[in-house]
């Protein structure tokens, strides 16, 4: 599924360092603004202990993990909504992504310059929020001008609905609130809102880039960000990008685990970030497992069995008959598919079954 998370932030907050840790594609990482001009795209494996367990059990000839696409976008500066810096390119690149990983500098280091000369992640957040909100307000006002007359004088019900949605967004944005804080009640409202492609309607995670000593518990900067976003529909994650870059250079899994243990972490921040990005995109995983292949398949949360069958092949969805479903925990506990069958733990599900994260699936179809 070609859904993408975009990494955004002011220049020199650690975006490209973090991207380099996430991906084999090496973005430039330099101590000056705009070292990333074109967005770098990395297709990144999603860490999943369940896949590893299934591989141990099945010993397959082939293994295919789930992936997520991460885009490293050039740093934004104040005035981007008016074209300052790389503003228009930056905003266009964000518009093409499905969710935002907003990196904030939460560390002191005299050797790394800050575009505003002081470390203040809440201010940095507000600068980008303001630029994105200004651009969204411009979009909303343009659409309002087109629909207002139809809504008020033409008796057009669709135009009236659209105008009401636009007004909700206008009120929120005018108060300095992101579009994602607006609650929409009907499917028609939600569909129209989606088609507006507002920048601040995208799900967002604030990634606090901290120093090594703050990798476990955070610091005063992280707490300031946490307080600033408490009323937003947003998440927060703590990562020490410089530490992660050191971990990424280690050759073996054992070396990486030993390094993590020394600094008090059970797993790397990158692993947590990848999984968080996957969830931020509203993605989940089902598995197919056997001697030939163990594979993690990506689907949208809430999808039904035929749509998940279509992830494997369109013919599977078109000719869907039924799905055989094994719960991951049952498979692990009983050891084999035949043992699961014998125990009566395999469910036969039809077209209305909502696939759950971790389900092990076998689809029957006929075309």
* pLDDT tens readout for residues 53-85: 999 999 999 999 998 888 888 666 555 445 554
Instruction: Please list the alpha-helical segments (H only) found in the chain.
Output: 15-22, 49-58, 87-95, 121-153, 157-174, 187-196, 220-228, 241-248, 253-263, 269-280, 305-312, 314-318, 328-334, 337-342
pLDDT band of residue 253 (cuts 50, 70, 90) is confident
Highest mean pLDDT among 28-42, 80-94, 127-141, 338-352: 338-352
Q: What gap in Å lies between CA 23 and CA 54, rounded to an integer? A: 25
* The predicted structure's pLDDT at residue 160: 87
Q: CATH for 302-365, among 3.30.365.10, 3.10.20.30, 3.40.50.740, 1.25.40.10?
A: 3.10.20.30
Give the annotated binding-site residues. 12-17
Residue 90 has pLDDT above 80, yes or no: no
pLDDT tens string 175-192: 988 898 898 889 999 999
Per residue in 230-247, pLDDT (tens digit) is: 888 789 999 998 888 888
Region 114-131 average pLDDT: 87
Specify the pLDDT at position 243: 86
CA distance 136 to 201: 9
CA distance 211 to 120: 14
Give residue 81's pLDDT. 47
pLDDT value of residue 181 = 87
Contacts with 293 (C-beta within 8 Å, 6 or more apart), sequence order = 60, 61, 62, 63, 64
Domain ranges of the chain: 4-115+202-280, 130-200, 302-365
Please state the residue numbers annotated as binding site for ATP. 12-17
Residue 17 has pLDDT above 80, yes or no: yes
Mean pLDDT of 121-131: 91
d(CA 271, CA 86): 30
CA atoms within a 13 Å half-sphere pointing along the CA-CB vector of 106? 30
Q: Find the angle CA(161)-CA(162)-CA(167) to the nearest 5 degrees.
A: 100
**Over residues 143-170, mean pLDDT:** 84
Hey, which residues does 236 pair with through a beta bridge? 206
The pLDDT of residue 26: 42
* Equal fold, 4-115+202-280 vs 130-200: no
- If pLDDT is split at 50, 70 and 90, which confidence band does 360 have? very high
List Cβ neighbours of 182 (8 Å cut-off, separation of 6 or more).
Answer: 168, 169, 172, 193, 201
CATH for the stretch 4-115+202-280: 3.40.50.300
Task: Report the SS3 class of residue 10.
Answer: coil
Residues in the chain: 367
Architecture of the structural domain at 130-200: Orthogonal Bundle (1.10)
Whole-prediction pTM: 0.82
DSSP three-state, residue 126: helix
Please report, rounded to a whole number, the percentage of residues in the chain having pLDDT higher than 70: 89
End-to-end CA distance of the chain: 24
Structure-model confidence comparison of residues 39 and 51, the more confident one: 51
- Quickly state the pLDDT bin for 1 (edges 50, 70, 90): low
* Average of per-residue pLDDT values in the chain: 86
């Amino acid at each position: 599924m070609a859904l993408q998370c975009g990494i955004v932030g002011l220049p020199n907050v650690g975006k490209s360092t973090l991207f380099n840790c996430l991906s084999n594609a090496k973005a430039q990482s330099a101590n000056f603004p705009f070292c990333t001009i074109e967005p770098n795209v990395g297709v990144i494996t999603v860490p999943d202990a369940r896949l590893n367990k299934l591989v141990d059990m099945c010993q397959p000839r082939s293994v295919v993990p789930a992936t997520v696409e991460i885009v490293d976008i050039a740093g934004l500066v104040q005035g981007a909504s008016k074209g300052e810096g790389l503003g228009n390119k930056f905003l266009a690149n964000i518009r093409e992504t499905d969710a935002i990983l907003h990196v904030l500098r939460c560390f002191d280091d005299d050797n790394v310059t800050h575009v505003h000369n002081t470390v203040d992640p809440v201010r940095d957040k507000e600068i980008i929020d303001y630029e994105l909100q200004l651009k969204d307000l411009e979009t909303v006002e343009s659409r309002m001008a087109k629909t207002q007359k139809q809504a008020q004088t033409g008796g057009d019900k669709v135009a009236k609905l659209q105008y009401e949605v636009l007004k909700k967004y206008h009120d929120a944005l005018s108060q300095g609130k992101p579009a994602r804080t607006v609650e929409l009640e009907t499917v028609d409202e939600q569909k129209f809102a989606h088609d507006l492609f507002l920048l601040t309607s995208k799900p967002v995670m604030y990634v606090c880039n901290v120093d090594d000593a703050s990798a476990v518990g955070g610091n005063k900067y992280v707490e300031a960000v946490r307080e600033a976003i408490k009323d937003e529909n947003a998440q927060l994650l703590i990562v020490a990008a410089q530490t992660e870059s050191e971990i990424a250079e280690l050759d073996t899994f054992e070396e990486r685990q030993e390094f993590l243990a020394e600094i008090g972490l059970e797993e790397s921040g990158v692993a947590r970030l990848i999984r968080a990005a996957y969830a931020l995109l509203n993605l989940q995983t089902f598995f197919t497992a056997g001697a030939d292949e163990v594979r993690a398949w990506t689907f949208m949360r809430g999808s039904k069995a035929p749509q998940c069958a279509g992830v494997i092949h369109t013919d599977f969805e078109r000719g869907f008959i039924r799905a055989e479903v094994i719960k991951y925990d049952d498979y692990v506990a009983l050891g084999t598919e035949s043992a699961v069958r014998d125990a009566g733990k395999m469910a036969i599900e039809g077209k209305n079954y909502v696939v759950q994260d971790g389900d092990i699936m076998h689809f029957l179809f006929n075309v």
